Structure 1
Amino acid sequence: MNRLHGAIRSYDWGSHTVLAELTGRPSPSDRPEAELWLGAHPADPARVDDAASGVSLLDVISADPHGQLGEANAERFRGRLPFLLKVLAAEEPLSLQAHPNSMQAREGFERENANGVPLDSPARNYKDDNHKPELVVALTRFEALAGFRDVRRTVVLLRALGVAELDRCAEQLAAQADSSGVRALFTQWITGDEHSVTLIGDVVEACQRYLSTERDRVAWEFAAEAQTALDLGNRYPNDPGVLISLLLNRITLEPGEGLFLAAGNLHAYLRGVAVEIMASSDNVLRGGLTPKHVDVPELLKVLDFRPGSMPVVRADGDGRDNTRVYETPEREFELTRLQLDTSRSNASSSTANLAAGDPRIVFCTAGSTILSSPGASLELSAGQSAWLPASNPAVTLAPAQQRAQVFVATIGSG
């Protein structure tokens, strides 16, 4: 096992304090820091042992894929680590975006290569040939838009805002209350003209009125949706993403709760700090709420317009008090949360065991933990991580003091 040093990614929506304080660096940082990457993606691989002079995890795995990943995993995933673990620190909303499935990613990557689009071009949609399903787990309260809301609820929301044009859109949607109706209204708004710009302004004013009017709790059921559209309209004037936000589920995750997003799911993370695990990809198709490259025709090719709720993913126990696994259908990744606590009467709550045979990234988010295996030990404080290759002996985790919270990322069993 080796200490792992993640790569910090700076984007406008990031925080000047969260990642700096988490990783023990001077705070506030000079630039907004949005993501901490813990993986072997070629765009920004983590480094093993030393942040400055250590070798990249990508090179470590490339030099010995069978020893690092395990023979079966190395064959199954072509010698690549199939997952990427991140920490997100969103101080402002992220772009309205979706990710492709495997076939779409391969086709798009090959097409852009054939067209000579440089990998580092701002206009590049496909940075690799992989899909990007993802699971986000909140470390703080985490706000998001994700998936198209049940049509009946959206019709009620549009009518509640008291805008004549929205009333017409509600009638249009009610007459075709399925994915085709959602697609038609989405396309109408996302590809809008000057008329849509006027509607955006009307919606922002309507949300302001809605929030300032005295209402009983039942009548004020869309306060979060109205506040979100108002905030987005103030931050991104005339952006069609303001209208699109009215079609999406507005979700609040409490610490420890998760949200799984399959390929094609339209979403925008709004604010909060979270651990995120995904298939190892950087393919993002944006539709708005960003100064970055937006490609609406390409986005329309990958979107899943089926309406419905987005269930919160809660970690399931496996019989041990301190171990909780976040279940997803993906074969590339699995995320487990360990709550280690020496104050509990149950002895199994104070330790956890990781069997040999699979590669793992261990990331401590609170307290500190000691990883022990025959002949070796490593202490991780909050914000620190470790790489455990498949060839590593079994590891026992215990809190260095009274409590520790640890996330363990590995390959899925699906």
Structure 2
Amino acid sequence: MKRIATLKNPILNYRWGSKTFIPKLIGLSGSRIQPMAEIWMGAHPKACSRVVSGPGKKEISLIELIQKAPQRILGKEVQEGFVGRLPFLFKILAVGQPLSIQAHPNQKQARQGYARENKLKIGLEDRERNYPDDHHKPEIICSLGSFWTLIGFRPWSETIGLLKKYGFKKLAKEFGSEHSRSEPRARRSFFKYLIHLEKEQQRALVHKAVVQAASLKDRERTAQWVMKLARMYPDDIMAVAPLFLNLVHLKAGEAVYVAPGELHAYLKGNAVELMANSDNSLRGGLTPKHVDASELLKIVSFAGRPIQVLRPKAGKTREKIYSTPAEEFQLSAIQVQSERPFVGYTENRVALLICLRGDARITTGANRTAIFLSRGRAVVIPAEVGRYRIQGRAHIYKATIP
């Protein structure tokens, strides 16, 4: 397939979604709109994009298209390196309410967990299924405005200080002494203690934190988020997660990389998300969904790290690239100006593009028929296309393989 094609992408409705951002992005209006949480762009069996192409506007799932011509769509290296599978999943997120505290497995953990649950005959749609596939799930989240997230453990001394400030002096004394042994061990002991508390104990501790937060909310974001989470989950100890996880605020265009095993929760805002093509998530709280505390403890990394806010760097074709260690994906931003068209090259790798602002038209050397790319529309550029040209005035995000 040596031509660019439009994508029709599934929209996932979750209660934490927004009634405004995605509907506005795709041009929907009305009073009966349900919260829209995610747009999925990719070839995941749970929610697969459909490819629309040709004079008759025929549709085919992206999975099926890749299966018919894997090398032409993916590119030779991608086909061989990822066994004929699109290695990434591209999303638009509209976070109206906080998502669950969660972490994703590494590759070894995913393969072992998937095989184990298959052996136990736990259905893929079963509520208690932890591993619906056998892939790891590193990801990058890029803010489209103001975006709040919890990610990774705070320095242990910082956590101990916050525990004291928020009324947990006994816990600070009990777990603070473990710092002399090792920070990861101290964090693990503390988190294990919290996640196994009885509901009555959780409620009492959350209430204690809220009382202290009320006197701090006018000057501390941490206090504000403890109070917000506690209002939604008064008997869930993970409402105090801002005391032990880094609270990060991203401005438009800023991003963070989430490594396998890194505990995190997206709290508020709209974003582009790009990840390995997996749906493996183990949850720890702030959710009505299944929580497997014992399994979560096996996959979480308790080695804290300084949070690095990522900003894109200019590439050789004027696109701005976000650098991560991931082998499966690369995110970039393309700013197209009317007086300066953008010329790109697939470099024998498939790419997905979505327009978030403006209007543009894409043409290729082999096919001068233009594909129009307006706000909310996405396209797939097969590897064999080679050179392509974007004209107009638009802000576009691109997902490909590094």
Q: 1:309 to 1:356 in 2, by over 3 A?
A: closer
Residue equivalent to 1:224: 221
Distance 2:233 2:161 in 1: 25
- TM (norm. structure 1) is 0.91
Q: What percent of counterpart residues are identical? A: 36
- Aligned partner of 2:16 in structure 1 is 13
CA distance in structure 1 between the aligned counterparts of 2:110 and 2:168, rounded to whole angstroms? 39
C-alpha distance in structure 1 between counterparts of 2:371 and 2:306, whole Å: 42
What letter matches 2:360 in structure 1?
T
Given the alignment, which residue of 193, 206, 213 partners 1:200? 206
Q: How does 1:25-174 map to 2 (within 5 A)?
A: 25-27=28-30, 30-49=33-52, 54-169=59-174, 171-172=176-177, 174=179
Corresponding residue for 1:326?
322
- For the residue of structure 1 that corresponds to 2:384, the secondary structure is coil
Inter-partner Cα distance in structure 2 for 1:202 and 1:178 = 25
Tell me, yes or no, if the aligned pair for 1:101 and 1:263 is still in contact at 8 Å. yes
Which residue identity is paired with 1:242?
A
Return the offset for 1:352.
Answer: 3.2
| Structure 2 residue corresponding to 1:361, chosen from 348, 352, 355 | 352
Deviation of the 1:232 alpha carbon: 0.6
Shift of residue 383 of structure 1?
A: 0.7
1:334-413 superposed matches below 5 A: 334-342=330-338, 347=340, 350-374=341-365, 375=367, 376-399=369-392, 403-412=393-402
Q: TM-score, normalised by structure 2?
A: 0.93
Aligned residue type for 1:367: G
- SS of residue paired to 1:364: strand
Contact conserved, 1:9 with 1:35, CA < 8 A, in 2?
yes
Give the paired residue count: 393
Distance apart, 1:148 and its partner CA: 0.3
Deviation at 1:149, TM superposition (A): 0.7
Find the aligned partners of 1:317 and 1:25 in 2 and give their Cα distance.
34
Q: Is the 8 A contact 2:202 2:236 kept in 1?
A: no
Kept after mapping to 2: 8 A contact 1:190/1:244: no
Deviations 1:338-393 (A, max 9, x none): 112236xxx4xx42323451101011111112111122321100110001111224
The amino acid of 2:209's aligned partner reads V
Q: Distance in 2 between matches of 1:53 and 1:30?
A: 28
Structure 1, unmatched stretches of 5+, are: 213-219
Q: Do residues 244 (structure 1) and 234 (structure 2) align?
A: no
Q: Shift of residue 164 of structure 1?
A: 3.5
Deviations 1:196-230 (A, max 9, x none): 43212111111112225xxxxxxx5xx11111111
Give CA-to-partner distance per residue, 1:93-121, whole Å, 9 cap, x none: 00000000111111111111111111111
Q: Which moved more, 1:325-334 or 1:22-31?
A: 22-31
Partners of 2:343 and 2:213 in 1: CA distance:
49
Give the deviation of 1:398 after TM superposition: 2.0
In structure 2, the CA distance between the partners of 1:360 and 1:319, relative to structure 1 (3 Å rule), is: closer
In structure 2, relative to structure 1, the CA distance for the partners of 1:62 and 1:271 (3 Å cut) is same
CA contact (8 A) 1:145 1:245 kept: yes
Do the aligned partners of residues 200 and 53 (structure 1) sit closer, same or farther apart at CA in structure 2, a change above 3 Å counting? Answer: farther
Where structure 2 has 5 or more consecutive residues not aligned to the other structure, the ranges are: none
1-structure distance, mates of 2:74, 2:388: 16
